[in-house]
Chain A
C-alpha cells in the first residue's frame, strides 16, 4: 500500500513537471495529428487512479444498435440499407416538413430556405443550404434522422429519410427529378462545397501590446 502510494505521487510529480516544462511554449501550437490547434494542455495531469475502480457495465454493440445512428459523412459509413425517390420525398415533405420549411423548401414559418446558394460564398450574403454548404451528401441522412422532423425526431423510416434526402438534393439541382438515393449512391454525389473547408490555422492575428501613442 505504501509503495503504491509512493508510485502514485511519483507519477503525479512527473506529470506535473511535464506540464510545467511546456509553460514557456506557445500552447496554441499544440496540435492534434490532424492539425487542429488544441490550446494549452490542462493544468493537471491525467488523473491517476491508484485503485482503478471499474464501475461501467459491459454492453454489446448489438444492445447499442438503436443508439448507434451516426453516419461518417465522407464515406457514408453507417448508412443503413434502404432507398428513396425524389417523388416519395416530395410527398413526405408535404406532410411532415412544409409547416416549418415552406413550399419547395424555400423557407417557411420557422426557418429559411434550404434551396440554392451554390456559388454565393464569394459574395455577400452567403446563402447556406444543404446544397450549398454540405460537403458530403450523407450529412443529409444523418441530420434528418437524428433531428427531424423537429417535433418528432427519429420517427422517419430509413426509406423515408433517403427519400427526403433525395428530394432536397433534387431541389438543389444535385439529383434529377426522377432520381433516387440509397446506401451506395448517396456518398457518391459530388457536393459543390466538397473542398470548401480549411483546417483551423489560428492564431491568425498578430496584435501588439502597444501602451502609448498607439495607432
Chain B
C-alpha cells in the first residue's frame, strides 16, 4: 500500500499537465483581447438557452492520489494562480528598486482582505531583515520616563485586532487626466485590506507618561532610509496602533517586520514600518517626508501639507481595465469602497458614464476605515458602456470626480490623494479599458 502511494505521488507532472487545461479561461481573462474575439463568439452561442456543455470525463485528480502531506510546510497558492502577484508600476518605471512600490492585484481579490503575499509595498531604501530578538522600540522625548520595549515586551500587552484598509497616498497618481494604466492593479493597487494585531500606541505612551506639552510625536523606522513622520498627539490617543501581526501571522518583512505603526485611515507612509522610535515633541519636525514629499500641489505654486486622511473612494474591480466581457448577459459588477473618515454608507454605480446611477448592495461586514465590498447585477446587452462607482461615507462626503477636485487643487506632476471616480469603458466588443479623462 505504501509503495503504491509513493509510486503515484511520483508523477505530479503528468497530473499537472492534465489540470492545466482549464486555465484557458484564466488566460483569457488576464490576456484580454488577443483571444477575446473567438471566445466572445463562443460566449454569444453559449448564452442561447439551447447551449450544451461539453460531455464530462473523469478528471485525472479523481483517478490518482494527490501530493502527500509534508512534515512541515508553509502553504502556497495553486500553481495555476501564478498570475496573481504583486507588480511594480508599469507606468512610472524607477531606475532602481529600493525606493519603489508594488501593487496589489485587486482584480483577483474577492472579499475585503488582502493575502499577506499580495499586500502592496512602498519602501524608501529596500526591505531590511531585522532580528526580533535584538530589535527595540523606544518611546522618549516629552515623557516622564523614556522606555525601551523588546518584541517580547510588546507581546505581553493585551492585544488588539482591527480591520482597516491601507492605502498609499500616491495611489492613482499616474492616472488623473488621461489613461496611463491598463488595469485596476495599476490604477488602484496601492491599496490593501488587513487585520492588524498589536497594542494601541496610547497604551505605551501612557506607560511612559505624556508630558502635557507634547502635541506631536515622530515615528521613525529602522530601515536604511530611517523613514520618519510627525503625527499629531490626537491621533495617537485615538486609534493609532503598534502592530506585530497581520492577517493572523507575523508581519512580512516588506510590511514592517517585526513591528510597525498603523495610523488607521491615514496615508500609508504615516504607518511607519520597522518602527524603532517614537519621540514626543511640542510641534511637527517638518521632515523631508512631510515637506518635499507627501505634500499636494495647490494653485499658485502652493503645497498642501499634513494631508493625512485618505478620503472616501471606490473602484469597480470587475469588470475592470484589461478584462474582456464574456458575451452579453448577466454580470455581477463588484468593487471596493472605503473611507479614512468613517464607514462606507452607500455606493452607486453608473453604466452610462455618470448620467444615471443605481445603488449597489454593500456586503457585510461594513467596518470603520475598512474596505467594503459592493455588488450590483447588470445585464450587458452588448453595446458600449461606461461603468463608474461613487461612494458616500458616514460623514455624508460624496466621492468626487476629477473635475470636482480640479476646482481646488493643482493637478500637476505626481499628485497624491487621488480619490476621484474611476470610469471603465466597455466597448461594443466587450473590451474593458481605463476611461479616466475620457468619460
Contact = CB atoms under 8 A, between A and B. Distances in A.
Q: Are A and B a genuine interacting pair, yes or no?
A: yes
A139 B413 contact: no
A167 interface: no
B160 A47 contact: yes
Contacts, number: 268
Nearest to B215: A33
Contacts of A34: 215, 232, 283-284, 306
A215 B158 CA distance: 52
Interface in A141-185: 142-143, 146-147, 150, 153-154
Contact of B394 (A40, A111, A200, A204): A40
A28 B397 contact: yes
Given A27-B394, A36-B308, A70-B285, A57 B124 contact: no
Q: How large is the interface on B (under 10, 10 to 19, 20 to 34, 35 or more residues)?
A: 35 or more
B228 A38 contact: no
B22 to A, nearest CB: 41
Interface in B331-352: 340-342, 346, 348
Interface string B351-369: 0001111110000000111
B166 to A, nearest CB: 14
A146 B225 CA distance: 6
Nearest to B281: A72
The secondary structure that dominates the A interface is loop
A51 to B, nearest CB: 9
B308 A68 contact: no
B288 A204 contact: no
A202 B305 contact: no
A205 interface: yes
Given A46-B202, A202-B309, A72 B398 contact: no
A55 B203 CA distance: 11
Nearest to B148: A59
B287 interface: yes
Given A27-B394, A146-B226, A60 B146 contact: yes
B408 interface: yes
A53 interface: yes
A142 to B, nearest CB: 6
B125 A200 contact: no
Contact of A207 (B99, B305, B359, B404): B404
Given A58-B146, A202-B311, A210-B357, A40 B285 contact: no
Contacts of B27: none
B413 A73 contact: no
Interface in B353-397: 354-359, 367-369, 390, 392, 394-397
B207 A202 contact: no
A133 interface: yes
Given A56-B139, A204-B405, A39 B308 contact: yes
A70 B311 contact: no
A214 B355 contact: yes
Interface in B254-279: 264-266, 276-277, 279
A110 B95 contact: yes
Contacts of A204: 405, 408-409
B178 interface: no
8 contacts: A39-B342, A61-B146, A126-B301, A128-B413, A147-B124, A196-B303, A197-B303, A202-B307
Q: Which 8 A-B pairs have the closest CB atoms?
A: A42-B239, A56-B147, A121-B301, A146-B226, A205-B400, A207-B398, A73-B286, A32-B232
Given A124-B412, A196-B301, 15 more contacts: A28-B341, A34-B283, A38-B232, A46-B237, A49-B157, A60-B146, A67-B277, A110-B95, A111-B95, A122-B300, A126-B412, A147-B224, A198-B298, A203-B397, A204-B405
Interface of B: 95-96, 98-99, 124-125, 138-140, 145-150, 153-154, 156-158, 160, 162, 200, 202-204, 207-208, 215, 218, 220, 224-226, 228, 232-235, 237-239, 264-266, 276-277, 279, 281, 283-288, 291-292, 295, 297-298, 300-309, 311, 340-342, 346, 348, 354-359, 367-369, 390, 392, 394-401, 404-405, 407-409, 412-413
